[in-house]
Structure 1
């Protein structure tokens, strides 16, 4: 047995030859039988294409859940086994996105699709990334759309985005990346972005202070809508021409900062026809600002007490405003994921539309549940006449504080007097204190607005008086809840000329708050307790 190298014979004696080639590569020609060198020059020198179809015959792909045999051939990571299709056995292949030899350790290597796209244009169709940025990943690649674009660049290309929660957050966060101001971080801005993304909230706009300054003409006095216990409210116009009300708060503490992000998320998701909607916030300032929808037809305070062209207001309109306002407070207290206090409920914070529908504004005082003395004095200056007497002692707000404030607003609707009004000798008096003194003597009708007093309305006014007196009880635990107040007012609106005791069914709650025949049995007014609170040094100083 010996070997001979015949490779050079081909060039001078190609009279016989044989080869293995791919099916269809060779088509027979007669000249190839007579030693024609053209065959060699045209085809053979370039080599004959051939694919060896083979398999590991003495084995099979491992069954799922069973141990892999020691002689298993697919030893590279990112490889897989497949059954042979030309007989027994199996083959090894590199996983999608990898290439190389699956029969060697680490033989399958990642294909860098992004690099291939740069090397040869033919790969641009194989690995599409239209108007996006290609990022190689293990076993594949990503085509990320640029800021302000959306969709999947690997398919239809990147297009201008339409607003979704994810995209709103990306675009807004980009604006703040370059200027991560200490205030923005302290006020939970980054945390708010994370919460918006995780909860898929797209109802909040996070506005930089420069946008707020532009909207308010740099906090112009001409833009001031009102001043309250929480701070100032400005009318603003955003860059999209949307009219908004911007609340610039006075009071802040570290505990409030901790709760602020959750508070914003909750407030932004409130959806009630009688509550002004929260649009967004500004965080890159010392005290965060809140941005609400703007209601253009004025406040209940202006409607009741405005000096220009004072005109009669029918009782049914007053009752509608009271009922809708009560429904809004009841919703905040009972129908959200957590109790939301208003904390500054007054006629100036009830907005009216063209049909005299009420929209409660400037709500959300969970942050003000507890205040120190200096913060409390600042707060009281904007809420005098409406603030719960218990709060004068505890410096703490509760849901029953809102009930008390509602009782004062109800008195305003019935008497058309301000919460702090001037009496006949031009001395300032508390509306709630004066009413309760007269209510205890059963002469409170003398305070009611003559414009709405007649034989047909006295039944309704009496029920409203009893309800107001119960809302104004000195001790919060003795007051009804806002849900009970709301139900009571709805019943009065449905049956204005019938006493509550005439209704069938369980009416105990309503009986306590508006069905008693005598005012004195509805509420016992402890003048000593109330007067000691209401006329405390703090209140007297503020009234003067």
Structure 2
């Protein structure tokens, strides 16, 4: 049943949206108090229904306590502090979950459900979830409009010591305690449960608890107190820990508002929040200070109070700034407004005419010289401008402009860089910055002016016929929003060759990780299966979840990049194509890479979604076998990895071709299941292959079985799991094309995280 307070809050929120549509900066009504007890209440917050911007910011001040205490959100939370961007609140009953197993006379509330959806508040990422107990599991789910994240954390006590009554638990060394950061979101659900059955051991202590609040609290406690629920229920460390919420003034970005709809007062401006949540806030202009939400809340700062000028100068305050002037008989030298004053020398009457003539001559010479210099610079800029326009046209700029005119979201998501910006970022494309070379170009590592590390793909040669592929890659990547797809930051059209700018991906390609024997990173089967799931999910997204289905057409291990957490990213969309929903295939000139090319597409020139399935299957076989898709050192009949793999599967001898490294990890059932899936995907009849959505679901099912098996079988008795290390990590791209001779034509819901302690 929906909570009545939550229902009323949602109704008030919808009403306030209507009022905010034409809202303007306010005058705070006279007589509205600005404090409640020891807490300052700044506008747009206010005490009482007529003193705040709207019902979301209304504060109730209870005078029954001493000192008085402020509350908000329908009297559910006590307000501890309000800053320009955050509000600190607490409510121990809603932030705390407690379970006493076998103690029916004590509370057994095992859930925390904090819901701030449809409100201007979101959980700050400075909050954390803490679990206190032995053999206790907390499942945490946080969500927002763009991401979904789940975390499972376990507080664990080693069973090696038979005596617990004198032991001390601590969140500093994670003994009997576990904590994890809560993702930013508008809703948080925590379920506390007994986890001793997972470890197949007796429950050591009866009680446990979980609580949410600001991070940074370290404490110790006697483990024996876990048998006494009142001790923890009344603990100040848990009851007084505040929850941090980010707040915004409106749920729209500044670009969607005009001057008549602005909520910001005079001498202030609107700023957008981060990419996670749509919304905006107000800030005072530079040189002003105060409350930007009040009509005249931002007041000019008198910089002259601290005299920023030189000792011999006079400071004159100006709106939002100041000026430094010199007294009569002196002139300013230095930068704007002058940094010092020098005395003007007196000139005798006999030399005044000569001085005037010299000054006029020098002035005329300087004027002539500056005019020539200006003409030279003008002609040079004009020449550079024409050259850039020529490159813009040759690099597909007109085609991209046509695409933008029909789809404005391309321009919103793609930044147009200047060649000067990218030359500075790469030290004039210095060879020491090269990350890799491919058949279609070179990739450089660069640093933008804001300090962001990027990868810049530069085409190897100038070919106007490739302008369409370059424009196609920009258009494709601007339409795709997925954590396992390369993220395009922008492009440069005014250079001699086209340039694409991606976020920097530090760990190279999947091809290098599989086939480079000198690679020091241990590529385990669990890691290979994780990469396979991520690539399959991203292809399923391209085929099924986008508004217009997209076929990649060049899936291979060199086009799969790995970030710092070894999360897979699909790249190189130069020959990708989108199709209408009612289309089943594309009839095109055959393009792709030998070893990955669908035989059915090669024969018919008709590319279907099952052609991407075939290419993905080759990558899957690479992960299983550790072998290259084409082996030139073998006989012609055995060169194809797909042929060798299918032959072994028909003979029911998959172990004859599987990689020794994965065979040694004793995962035979998983290996056989993935091998049979790859065999189905390599069927020469495309209609008999599964879709990428079916492939992704089957791989995820295999992997989830692996995670559940690890949770129940892999923790040995006597092991102290106190070092925080994720069993599995996840989260969010530049690419280059490999210089293989076998290239025909090419162009350039978060999973569960389990922390053990």
TM-score, L = length of structure 2: 0.38
The count of aligned residue pairs is 337
2:451 matched residue in structure 1? 241
Whole-Å separation in 1 of the counterparts to 2:425 and 2:679: 43
The counterpart of 1:293, out of the listed 470, 488, 503, is 503
When residues 291 and 493 of structure 1 are mapped into structure 2, their CA distance, relative to the original with a 3 A threshold, is same
1:386 Cα shift?
2.0
Contact 2:594/2:743 (8 A) holds in 1: no
Secondary structure of the 1:236 match is strand
Looking at CA atoms only, which structure, 1 or 2, has the larger radius of gyration? 1
Whole-Å separation in 1 of the counterparts to 2:630 and 2:624: 15
Residue-by-residue CA offset, 1:153-201 (whole Å, 9 max, x unaligned)? 9x98998996899xxxxxxxxx9995571442443354355457x5495
**Between Structure 1 and Structure 2, which shows a larger proportion of strand residues?**
2
Secondary structure of the 1:181 match is helix
When residues 327 and 177 of structure 1 are mapped into structure 2, their CA distance, relative to the original with a 3 A threshold, is farther
- Structure 1: state its 5+ residue gaps: 1-149, 166-174, 499-537
2:291 matched residue in structure 1? none
Residue-by-residue CA offset, 1:464-486 (whole Å, 9 max, x unaligned)? 11111122223433322211110
2:389 pairs with 1:181: yes
2:402 matched residue in structure 1? 191
2:693 pairs with 1:483: yes
2:656 matched residue in structure 1? 446
Whole-Å separation in 2 of the counterparts to 1:242 and 1:491: 37
Whole-Å separation in 2 of the counterparts to 1:225 and 1:206: 22
1:245 Cα shift?
2.4
1:306 Cα shift?
1.9
1:222 Cα shift?
4.4
When residues 425 and 333 of structure 1 are mapped into structure 2, their CA distance, relative to the original with a 3 A threshold, is closer
1:315 matched residue in structure 2? 525
Residue-by-residue CA offset, 1:6-37 (whole Å, 9 max, x unaligned)? xxxxxxxxxxxxxxxxxxxxxxxxxxxxxxxx
1:432 matched residue in structure 2? 642
Whole-Å separation in 1 of the counterparts to 2:462 and 2:694: 32
When residues 258 and 425 of structure 1 are mapped into structure 2, their CA distance, relative to the original with a 3 A threshold, is closer
2:213 matched residue in structure 1? none
Contact 2:472/2:575 (8 A) holds in 1: no
When residues 200 and 467 of structure 1 are mapped into structure 2, their CA distance, relative to the original with a 3 A threshold, is closer
Whole-Å separation in 2 of the counterparts to 1:258 and 1:312: 40
When residues 390 and 271 of structure 1 are mapped into structure 2, their CA distance, relative to the original with a 3 A threshold, is same
The counterpart of 2:618, out of the listed 387, 408, 415, is 408
For residues 343-422 of structure 1, the aligned pairs below 5 Å read 343-363=553-573, 365-366=575-576, 372=589, 376=591, 380=592, 383-394=593-604, 397-421=607-631
TM-score, L = length of structure 1: 0.51
Whole-Å separation in 1 of the counterparts to 2:634 and 2:531: 28
Contact 2:410/2:475 (8 A) holds in 1: no
Contact 1:151/1:157 (8 A) holds in 2: no
Secondary structure of the 1:400 match is helix
1:205 Cα shift?
0.5
Greater relative contact order (Cα < 8 A, sep 6+): 2
2:157 matched residue in structure 1? none
Secondary structure of the 2:446 match is strand
1:493 matched residue in structure 2? 703
1:75 matched residue in structure 2? none
**Between Structure 1 and Structure 2, which shows a larger proportion of helix residues?**
1
When residues 363 and 163 of structure 1 are mapped into structure 2, their CA distance, relative to the original with a 3 A threshold, is farther
Whole-Å separation in 2 of the counterparts to 1:276 and 1:226: 16
Contact 1:259/1:367 (8 A) holds in 2: no
Secondary structure of the 1:291 match is strand
- Structure 2: state its 5+ residue gaps: 1-256, 276-381, 579-585, 709-740, 746-757
1:281 Cα shift?
1.7
1:349 Cα shift?
2.1
For residues 493-512 of structure 1, the aligned pairs below 5 Å read 493-496=703-706
Contact 2:434/2:444 (8 A) holds in 1: yes
1:251 Cα shift?
10
Whole-Å separation in 1 of the counterparts to 2:390 and 2:743: 41
Whole-Å separation in 1 of the counterparts to 2:555 and 2:468: 24
Residue-by-residue CA offset, 1:213-258 (whole Å, 9 max, x unaligned)? 4444555554443455665443333333322223345799999867
2:675 matched residue in structure 1? 465
- RMSD of aligned C-alpha atoms? 4.6
Secondary structure of the 1:281 match is strand
Contact 2:513/2:519 (8 A) holds in 1: no
When residues 214 and 469 of structure 1 are mapped into structure 2, their CA distance, relative to the original with a 3 A threshold, is farther
Whole-Å separation in 1 of the counterparts to 2:506 and 2:665: 36
1:396 Cα shift?
5.7
1:322 Cα shift?
0.6
